[in-house]
């Protein structure tokens, strides 16, 4: 363990952690734009700089490790002045579209400009302007709002393991690009949307959630019905209707990761083709019935088959779209109530 002093208070942390991790563990809020605890440190935005006694320059706390006896100031006058300057530079080269931006209300750049009192960029001159990439059905890229934090590049490479995007150009012309600068979904991108979650600004947007303000939705945690992995996420519900999905970092199975199905395919929920009542075939036609009538029919037919032909004449096939708990109960019913081991699952393949 290492003992250091942070803002005048002694703290003890594990050797080898960064100053940023030490601060967060001890309830000290150091702002960041390019840091994500799931990704390798990048040290690009420099907002996490802190003052370390004995060090001539300010130190990027996301990359610098704690040392025994270190004395750190996370919000000194010099630190605050530097953060304001960085935010001013970023916001000067930015569309300043907060009033109508889809990200407004959950944008980290907006929050930090508010925290450090940046109302408008004081550097006047050329501002980057890119065409919006919106050809695919689920995702919109507005590179004019990109602050080059590189989170999308790292999440795509390190977590999605796809490397569909990377930095290109230098200086003012730096940008995040796809292979040959094609639209995002052209070849390699899986449209998994991990980069949307990682992006701190409105540069990457989930199209399904466009037109929905973050404060208008109720978030309801649930388990994805698409496969047996059991990912959790938050359904975004507006006026009683599911309008989109956002990952929940506390999900034990998947954290912020979701596949393209879980993240986007909400259309079946309100589809007129969806079965919402049991259907029983009567005189060759499917007819809507009550659950009680349907279950009574299933039970009597299963009993009849068991009595006439024995337990092993019955087999049960379960679904990867049910939860583990549902599948457990199903195999229990087949074994205990029907008395057969003929039970299988569509995900066996
Ligand atoms: S990305 Fe953030 S800072 Fe930029 S216009 Fe949108 S809300 Fe404002
Ligand atoms: S959607 Fe997924 S695969 Fe495509 S660029 Fe983003 S992280 Fe990479
Ligand atoms: S698109 Fe978003 S996540 Fe990617 S570098 Fe730009 S601001 Fe960062």
DSSP state string for 175-196: EEEEGGG--TTTTT-----HHH
* Coil vs helix vs strand at 89: helix
Cα 200 versus chain centre, distance:
11
Question: For ligand 3, what atom is nearest to the CA of residue 147?
Answer: 7
* CA-to-CA dists, residue 177 to 133, 148, 198, 209, angstroms: 11, 11, 16, 24
Q: Are strands 316-318 and 343-345 parallel, antiparallel or unpaired?
A: parallel
* Residue 149 Cβ contacting ligand 3 at under 6 Å: yes
Listed in sequence order, the DSSP H helices in 168-246 are 194-198
Question: For ligand 1, what atom is nearest to the CA of residue 98?
Answer: 8
Torsion-angle region of 297 (φ positive above 0: left; ψ -120 to 50: alpha; else: beta) = alpha
Query: What is the C-alpha to C-alpha distance for residues 272 and 275, in angstroms, rounded to an integer?
Result: 8
* Residue 109 Cβ contacting ligand 1 at under 6 Å: yes
What is the Cα Rg of the chain in Å? 27
Tens-place pLDDT, residues 175-209 = 999 999 988 877 789 899 999 999 999 999 999 99
> Residue 58 half-sphere exposure, CB side, CA atoms within 13 Å?
20
- Check residue 349 and give its pLDDT: 58
Tens-place pLDDT, residues 65-86 = 999 999 999 999 999 999 999 9
Among 40, 26, 82, 39, which Cα is nearest to 59's?
Answer: 82
Walk across the sheet containing 241-247 and list its strands: 218-223, 232-238, 241-247
Q: Name the closest-CA residue to atom 8, ligand 3.
A: 149
CATH number of 2-75: 3.10.20.740
The structure's pTM equals: 0.86
- Substitution site in 136, 151, 155, 156 for ligand 2 pocket (most atoms within 8 Å of beta carbon): 156
Q: Give the number of whichever ligand sits closest to the CA of residue 256.
A: 2
Residues of the chain whose pLDDT is less than 70?
A: 348-349
Residue range 219-273 in CATH 2.20.25.90: yes
Within the chain, which residue ranges are assigned CATH 3.10.20.740? 2-75
Residue listed under structure tokens 């320059």: 57
Report residues whose beta carbon is within 6 angstroms of any ligand 2 atom. 155-156, 160, 162, 164-165, 189-195
Query: What is the C-alpha to C-alpha distance for residues 17 and 72, in angstroms, rounded to an integer?
Result: 14
* Dihedral pair phi/psi, residue 207, rounded to 5°: -60, -30
Q: Give the number of whichever ligand sits closest to the CA of residue 121.
A: 1
Query: What is the C-alpha to C-alpha distance for residues 95 and 333, in angstroms, rounded to an integer?
Result: 60
Query: What is the C-alpha to C-alpha distance for residues 187 and 17, in angstroms, rounded to an integer?
Result: 39
* 208, 183 Cβ separation under 8 angstroms: no
Listed in sequence order, the DSSP H helices in 93-187 are 108-115, 151-154
Query: What is the C-alpha to C-alpha distance for residues 261 and 113, in angstroms, rounded to an integer?
Result: 35
How many Å lie between the centroid of ligand 2 and the Cα of residue 27? Answer: 32
- Substitution site in 146, 156, 167, 197 for ligand 3 pocket (most atoms within 8 Å of beta carbon): 146
Among 87, 86, 95, which Cα is nearest to 118's?
Answer: 87
- Check residue 294 and give its pLDDT: 97
Residue listed under structure tokens 């208008």: 216
* Residue 98 Cβ contacting ligand 1 at under 6 Å: yes
Q: Name the closest-CA residue to atom 2, ligand 3.
A: 199
How many Å lie between the centroid of ligand 3 and the Cα of residue 47? Answer: 15
How many Å lie between the centroid of ligand 1 and the Cα of residue 103? Answer: 6
Question: For ligand 1, what atom is nearest to the CA of residue 202?
Answer: 1
* Residue 94 Cβ contacting ligand 1 at under 6 Å: yes
What kind and span of H or E run contains 5? strand 2-6
* Residue 141 Cβ contacting ligand 1 at under 6 Å: no
* Residue 95 Cβ contacting ligand 1 at under 6 Å: yes
Q: What is the b/e burial string over 209-243, where b = at least 16 CB atoms within 10 angstroms of the residue's CB? A: beeeeeeebeeeeebbebebeebbbbbbeeeeebb
Within the chain, which residue ranges are assigned CATH 2.20.25.90? 219-273
- Substitution site in 93, 143, 203 for ligand 3 pocket (most atoms within 8 Å of beta carbon): 203
Q: What is the DSSP letter of 227?
A: S
- Substitution site in 196, 199, 206, 256 for ligand 3 pocket (most atoms within 8 Å of beta carbon): 199
* Dihedral pair phi/psi, residue 98, rounded to 5°: -55, -30
Question: For ligand 1, what atom is nearest to the CA of residue 110?
Answer: 3
Q: Name the closest-CA residue to atom 8, ligand 1.
A: 98
* 65, 23 Cβ separation under 8 angstroms: no
Cα 300 versus chain centre, distance:
46
Query: What is the C-alpha to C-alpha distance for residues 20 and 301, in angstroms, rounded to an integer?
Result: 64
Question: For ligand 1, what atom is nearest to the CA of residue 96?
Answer: 5
Residue listed under structure tokens 């450090």: 116
């Amino acid at each position: 363990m290492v003992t250091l002093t942070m803002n005048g208070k002694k703290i003890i942390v594990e050797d080898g952690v960064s100053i940023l991790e030490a601060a967060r563990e001890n309830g000290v809020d150091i702002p960041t734009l390019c840091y994500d605890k799931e990704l390798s440190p990048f040290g690009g935005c420099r907002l996490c700089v802190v003052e370390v006694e004995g060090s001539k320059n300010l130190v990027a706390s996301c990359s610098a490790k704690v040392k025994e006896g270190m004395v750190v100031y996370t919000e000194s006058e010099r630190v605050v002045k530097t953060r304001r300057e960085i935010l001013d530079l970023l916001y000067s080269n930015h569309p300043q579209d907060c009033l109508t931006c889809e990200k407004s209300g959950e944008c980290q750049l907006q929050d930090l400009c508010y925290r450090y009192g940046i109302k408008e960029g004081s550097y006047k001159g050329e501002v980057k302007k890119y065409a919006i990439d919106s050809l695919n059905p689920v995702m919109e890229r507005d590179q004019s709002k990109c602050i080059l934090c590189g989170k999308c590049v790292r999440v795509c490479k390190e977590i999605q393991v796809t490397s569909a995007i990377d930095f290109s150009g230098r200086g003012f012309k730096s940008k995040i690009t796809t292979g040959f600068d094609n639209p995002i979904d052209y070849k390699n991108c899986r449209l998994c949307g991990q980069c949307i979650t990682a992006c701190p600004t409105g540069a990457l947007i989930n199209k399904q959630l466009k037109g929905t303000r973050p404060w208008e939705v109720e978030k309801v945690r649930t388990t994805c019905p698409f496969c047996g992995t059991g990912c959790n996420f938050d359904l975004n519900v507006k006026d009683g209707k599911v309008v989109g999905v956002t990952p929940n970092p506390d999900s034990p199975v998947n954290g912020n990761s979701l596949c393209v199905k879980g993240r986007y395919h909400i259309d079946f929920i309100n589809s007129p083709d969806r079965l919402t009542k049991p259907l029983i075939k009567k005189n060759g036609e499917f007819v809507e019935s009550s659950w009680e009538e349907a279950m009574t029919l299933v039970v009597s037919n299963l009993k009849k088959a068991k009595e006439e032909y024995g337990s092993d004449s019955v087999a049960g096939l379960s679904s990867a779209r049910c939860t583990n708990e549902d599948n457990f109960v199903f195999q229990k019913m087949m074994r205990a109530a029907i008395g057969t081991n003929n039970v299988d699952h569509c995900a066996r393949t």
